[in-house]
Amino acid sequence: MADCDDTLRELETYLDEELTPDALLSIQIHLDGCLDCLHVFDFHAELRQVIAQKCHEDALPPGLLARIEECFGTIDLEDERDSL
């Protein structure tokens, strides 16, 4: 069973549903019984929703995508699909 330290350390991964089914269940059980961790979880879950909504509504500032592509390089999605 997860304790508070385990739960808080894995909270983002839990929210992304990237844990094993056993780990997801363990954290869910802990959240069901620990009000302190549940409050932290609620805050993070709500923050994610606000960020997702704001990022969806607002347009990228001019030039931002080009700067990101400079940092990481561009990937031609057609070439990537063809190589699979």
Position 75 pLDDT exceeds 70: no
**Residue 22 pLDDT level (bands cut at 50, 70, 90):** very high
CA–CA distance, 81 with 84 (Å, rounded to integer):
5
CA–CA distance, 7 with 15 (Å, rounded to integer):
11
Predicted pLDDT at 43: 94
User: Is the CB of residue 3 less than 8 Å from the CB of residue 26?
Assistant: no
Identify the top-confidence range among 21-25, 70-74, 75-79.
Answer: 21-25
Position 80 pLDDT exceeds 70: no
Predicted pLDDT at 14: 93
